[in-house]
């Protein structure tokens, strides 16, 4: 996967902040939202770990694949389709870190890096040598479908944030200002996670 290291650090901060807030909401929010908020929080923290722009241990991609794959199957069993797509997309990106591309010049060693840290290491080396010219990893068709899905999700979720502000004003008059604000921030965290997923897919 490709991308400057500073993009990786921004993704780590974004996903870690979203995950921390979601887990906090899982303990303090309404009972009906706690399970979903917990799932969102764990997914966001997993994204932060995977976006860490430092070359990970050789076994970490397999760990990510197993964890996110199991999470995706669990979400499918519970009929949480968006969570399932997100978890399986993370498992797919983890696999691209260890399965070499069939195109020339793309080696397994190059893939065993964090989702964003690859280009940062190339920049430090001056962009020369056989690693200076790389090709995208993964399956282009599958990556494209995931990009379309998460782009649509971010746009749809972002649009829902606008009426949520008006609804929050109505609920505030009834004494529900805190709950309305918390729900709005939770929706914003989901949008942020969708944007983070898009950035990681584009960095393949």
Q: Is the pLDDT of residue 158 over 60?
A: yes
pLDDT at 124: 46
Largest CA distance in the chain: 65
Q: What is the pLDDT of residue 194?
A: 93
The pLDDT of residue 109 is 43
By the 8 A CB rule, do 88 and 72 touch? Answer: yes
Mean local confidence (pLDDT), 98-119: 51
Question: In the chain, what are the domain boundaries?
Answer: 5-202
The pLDDT assigned to 141 comes to 93
Are 53 and 120 in contact by the 8 Å Cβ rule? The answer is: yes
Q: How far apart are CA 178 and CA 186, in angstroms?
A: 12
What are the Cα distances from residue 160, in Å, to 26, 167, 177, 190? 21, 11, 18, 11
Q: How confident is the model at residue 128 (pLDDT cuts 50, 70, 90)?
A: very low
The Cα–Cα gap between 177 and 180 comes to: 5
Q: Whole-angstrom Cα distance, residue 179 to residue 28?
A: 10
- Per-residue confidence at 188, pLDDT binned at 50, 70, 90? confident
Residues 8-28 have a mean pLDDT of 90
Alpha-carbon torsion angle 136, 148, 75, 139, nearest 10 = -30
* Mean pLDDT value across residues 51-74: 90
What is the pLDDT of the chain when averaged over all its residues? 77
The pLDDT of residue 107: 44
Q: Please report which confidence band the pLDDT of residue 72 belongs to, taking 50, 70 and 90 as the band edges.
A: very high
**Taking the mean position of all CA atoms in its chain, how far away is CA 171?**
31
Q: Is the pLDDT of residue 152 over 90?
A: yes
């Amino acid at each position: 996967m490709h991308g400057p290291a500073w993009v990786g650090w921004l993704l780590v901060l974004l996903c870690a902040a979203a995950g921390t807030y979601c887990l906090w909401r899982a303990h303090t929010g309404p009972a009906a939202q706690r399970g979903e908020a917990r799932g969102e929080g764990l997914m966001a923290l997993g994204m932060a770990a995977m976006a860490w722009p430092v070359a990970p241990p050789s076994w970490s991609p397999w760990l990510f694949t197993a964890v996110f794959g199991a999470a995706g199957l669990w979400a499918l069993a519970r009929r949480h389709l968006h969570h399932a797509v997100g978890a399986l997309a993370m498992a797919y990106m983890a696999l691209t870190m260890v399965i070499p591309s069939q195109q020339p010049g793309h080696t397994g060693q190059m893939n065993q890096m964090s989702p964003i840290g690859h280009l940062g290491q190339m920049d430090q080396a001056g962009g020369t040598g056989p690693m200076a010219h790389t090709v995208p990893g993964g399956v282009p068709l599958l990556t494209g479908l995931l990009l379309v899905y998460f782009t649509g999700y971010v746009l749809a979720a972002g649009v829902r944030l606008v009426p949520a502000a008006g609804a929050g004003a109505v609920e505030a008059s009834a004494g529900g200002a805190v709950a309305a604000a918390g729900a709005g921030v939770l929706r914003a965290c989901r949008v942020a996670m969708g944007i983070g997923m898009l950035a990681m897919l584009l960095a393949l």
